[in-house]
Amino acid sequence: MSLSQVAAELDARDPLAGKRAEFDLEPQLSYLDGNSLGAPPRSVAARLDEVVRKQWAGRLIRSWDEGWWQAPERVGDRIAPLVGAAPGQVVVSDSTSVNVFKALVAAVRLNPGRPEILVDSTTFPSDGYVADSAARLTGHEIRRVPPAEMAAVVSERTAAALVNHVDYRSGLLHDLPALTESLHAAGALAVWDLCHSVGAVPMRLDAAGVDLAVGCTYKFLNGGPGAPAFLYVAEKWQERFDQPLSGWAGHADPFGMTEAYAGGAGISRARTGTPEILSMLALDAALDVWEDVTVEQVRAKALALGDFFLRCLDERVPGAEVLTPRDHRRGNQLSIRRPDAKRVMAAMTESGIIGDFRPPDVLRFGLAALYVRYVDVLRAAAFLSGWPG
Amino acid sequence: MSLSQVAAELDARDPLAGKRAEFDLEPQLSYLDGNSLGAPPRSVAARLDEVVRKQWAGRLIRSWDEGWWQAPERVGDRIAPLVGAAPGQVVVSDSTSVNVFKALVAAVRLNPGRPEILVDSTTFPSDGYVADSAARLTGHEIRRVPPAEMAAVVSERTAAALVNHVDYRSGLLHDLPALTESLHAAGALAVWDLCHSVGAVPMRLDAAGVDLAVGCTYKFLNGGPGAPAFLYVAEKWQERFDQPLSGWAGHADPFGMTEAYAGGAGISRARTGTPEILSMLALDAALDVWEDVTVEQVRAKALALGDFFLRCLDERVPGAEVLTPRDHRRGNQLSIRRPDAKRVMAAMTESGIIGDFRPPDVLRFGLAALYVRYVDVLRAAAFLSGWPG
């Protein structure tokens, strides 16, 4: 059988094949950049129209009492099962960078007397920038360490470690439970960045004993460009969660207008300012696509997509330098290094195969299994084999 | 002439009367809560639909290069003339509380060796909470002072003062140029919160030499619930603006993915995380209502609305305890204290006259002159005169 026949057969047998119709994607488009910006679920446009015309225009200020004010916790509770968290531990708020700041400052305050913060040296840069700033303000030292070395480096000096679940560049998936356990063994808190795994890789934050976690919602959760991020605070830490962006929305009695800050109960104290309702409810609508599908199903298909992509590359682009593990220690993307990566991706995009480029020389292909087809990864491999041909 | 006749005549002669049609408001509704949540401009729903269907669905990731990434500065430049700022000094980002944190930490770093931050003791509480947090992290002392006393209290110990342009509770308008000058005379930086004045009260931040300012866009700018806030950094400080939420969006080369943070040129370094595009472009559409009207025109009508409201109160509710100055040292609301305020506002809202209530006993009526009519304030006064009758 040719690769085209295999792809067609895999797509025909794909139990998730019907999910693509829930997204507003042109049929001929191969969209392999869900690791950067998820595709739009069809439910979003209608929901935004309703929010603007019925809620904002129709009810005006009253909508704050009719669901808006509690949306950060409510939508957070919709994300919770996707990260293996019991309700009441996830809140949607701000950007990932802002939440990293909250989480790190809170973490070192939970673990006083330890002068050091470990930061994943392969992190998406923003986390590192924000960690530097948090450390400067709290008087901690930052030590940059690859996740693979963290278990060996963590010590009684370490207050907390900030680690990415998936390496944004290579797609390597780190062992969240094992590293969390190693960090805890040294008395350090584990702060995970789930941006590249949430909605793609099954995880059980509660079971793993993760302390704090952040993640974005515009990649595999399809919440829309710049959709608000989320923050997970394990229940055991909530009462002592002492965060630096202590705005009114996290206050125990926000409308009491008291002079002194008093953090709210539970996860609410992780909130800061007035929640960004339009973006938040677009995300809420986008999460509807998860109602009849599990992360495990999505993961199974994404691994099969990746395996098939590797097979296509092996046959059609035998010299390709794949940065991502060939086994299943990978997240939800395949990364390929080639010196002409930037030009290649521009040309692919022109031809209707959209992935992305990360400097200096990495092509990334996201395998968002809710809408990516086997034919899409075959097309990507075929393009690479023929280019610039 | 009866008050009804006067109101009808004032509305008939109102040069801004036609602006109300640009908002999605029921004709019979008296909406006097624009000081809390502005009414929806009709342009917003269509714009969001376009952003979702044409930009997100149609162009996907490419939209980031086609206007999204620069939206915070571009939309900021649309707000700039409303606050009397030359271009390149306003960026739209995050919430007001988050921006207060950025501004205050940056301010004390610009003015080292001074141990104290003055905070408006009448401030909307969130600013105070965040100021406390900033001071705790930077090792400063907070001193709470009413704006009227700040000129006397500011000293060589003061690094910066955080002041509200308009008192959210009473509606009192503070003298921004004079207080800024007094703060500067003592060598302190002036950080203004413009939430209750932007889009309602003319101001000239550049001319007044204001150092930093924050404001929200969901009140008199009608950007929508939880619309992103803005941050003004005077050009003279931008090169040394050293802010604590140093995320990738403010980096000089955000897509270079370098390990070390380097703040971007100009106002861009005030950015933090990925911008919230749906909310941002809703705000962008909402700002269209300013294309043929000035803040001065809006102010003139709002003062006339307030004067007429006071006249109606004097005639119909002679005992009303008005907290807002009767002269023009007021912002864009009238506040009335009465012990039954909470119940009164609930009943008014039921009858189609919407203002708001602030604990413990204050009724607030916003005079958003783009859509509030003279008949609306008369209806409010008439309701108060008749209640509970």
A361 is catalytic: no
User: pLDDT grade, residue A389 (50/70/90)?
Assistant: low
Pick the catalytic residue from B120, B193, B284, B356: B193
Catalytic position from the list B364, B365, B371, B373: B364
* Of B52, B121, B258, Cβ closest to residue A44: B52
pLDDT at residue B388, as a whole number: 78
- Who among A130, A249, A349 is closest to B247 (CB)? A130
Contact A278 B225 (CB under 8 A): yes
- Could you tell me which chain B residue has the CA closest to the CA of A359? B256
Answer yes or no: is B242 a known binding residue: no
Mean pLDDT of A37-42: 98
**Cβ separation of B132 and A261 shorter than 8 Å?**
yes
Report, as an integer, the average pLDDT of A30-52. Answer: 97
Residues of B whose CB is below 8 A from A356: 61
Chain B nearest-CA residue for A122? B259
Q: Which residues does chain B have within 8 Å of residue A272's beta carbon, measured at their own beta carbons?
A: 95, 97-98
- Start and end residues for every CATH 3.40.640.10 domain found in chain B: 47-290
**What is the tens place of the pLDDT at every residue in A200-240?**
999 999 999 999 999 999 999 999 999 999 999 999 999 99
**Is pLDDT above 80 for A70?**
yes
Best probe of the A interface among B48, B63, B214, B276, by most A CBs < 10 A, is B276
Confirm or reject CATH 1.10.8.50 for domain A3-31+293-386, answering yes or no.
no
B248 among the known binding-site residues? yes
Task: Give A79-127 pLDDT, tens digit per residue.
Answer: 999 999 999 999 999 999 999 999 999 999 999 999 999 999 999 999 9
Identify the pLDDT of residue A387.
85
Q: Identify the pLDDT of residue B387.
A: 85
CATH number assigned to the domain covering B47-290: 3.40.640.10
Between B129, B246, B256, which is nearest A133 by CB?
B246
Option in B130, B144, B276 nearest A226 (CB): B276
Given a cut of 90, whether residue A260 has pLDDT beyond it is: yes
Question: Residue ranges of chain B with pLDDT lower than 70?
Answer: 389
CB B98 within 8 A of CB B71: no
Active site residue A167: no
Mutation to test the B interface, candidates A96, A126, A255, most B Cβ within 10 Å: A126
The confidence score (pLDDT) of residue B389 equals 58
| Candidate list A301, A364, A373, A379, residue with the active-site label | A364
- Across the A/B interface, how many CB contacts are shorter than 8 Å? 253
CB contact under 8 A, A255 and B359: yes
Q: Nearest CB to B228: which of A52, A56, A276?
A: A276
Query: A39 to chain B, minimum CA–CA distance in Å?
Result: 7
Q: Residue positions of A in the annotated binding site for pyridoxal 5'-phosphate?
A: 96-97, 124-127, 193, 196, 218, 248, 274
pLDDT of residue A113: 98
Cα B140 to Cα B191: distance, rounded to the nearest angstrom = 16
Q: Is B218 a residue of the active site?
A: yes
Q: Find the mean pLDDT for residues A168-187.
A: 96
Are B278 and A358 within 8 A, CB to CB?
no
Crossing angle for the helix pair A43-50 and B43-50, to the nearest 10 degrees: 170
Mean pLDDT of chain A: 97
pLDDT, tens digit, 9 for 90 and up, residues B240-249: 999 999 999 9
**ipTM for the complex?**
0.97
Both tokens assigned to B39: 């009414």
Cα gap B175→A188, rounded to integer Å? 50
Three-state SS string across chain B, please?
A: CCHHHHHHHHHHHCCCHHHHHHECCCCCCEECCCCCCCCCECHHHHHHHHHHHHHHHHHHHHHHHHCCCCHHHHHHHHHHHHHCCCCCCEEECCCHHHHHHHHHHHHHHHCCCCCEEEEECCCCHHHHHHHHHHHHHHCCEEEEECHHHHHHHCCCCEEEEEEECECCCCCEECCHHHHHHHHHHCCCEEEEECCCCCCCCCCCHHHHCCCEEEECCCCCCCCCCCCCCEEEECHHHHCCCCCCCCCHHHECCHHHCCCCCCECCHHHHHCCCCCCHHHHHHHHHHHHHHCCCCHHHHHHHHHHHHHHHHHHHHHHCCCCEECCCCCCCECCEEEEECCCHHHHHHHHHHCCEECEEECCCEEEEECCCCCCCHHHHHHHHHHHHHCCC
Indicate where chain A has its CATH 3.90.1150.10 domain(s): 3-31+293-386
Contact A273 B98 (CB under 8 A): yes
Q: Do A96 and B244 touch (CB under 8 A)?
A: no
User: How distant is the Cα of A123 from the closest Cα of chain B, in angstroms?
Assistant: 9
Contacts of B272 in chain A (CB under 8 A): 95, 97-98
Q: Note if B364 is an active site residue.
A: yes
| Predicted local confidence at residue B15, as pLDDT | 98
The question of whether A33 is a catalytic residue gets the answer no
pLDDT at residue A388, as a whole number = 78
Task: Tell me the pLDDT tens digit for each residue of B220-270.
Answer: 999 999 999 999 999 999 999 999 999 999 999 999 889 999 999 999 999
pLDDT at A374 over 90: yes
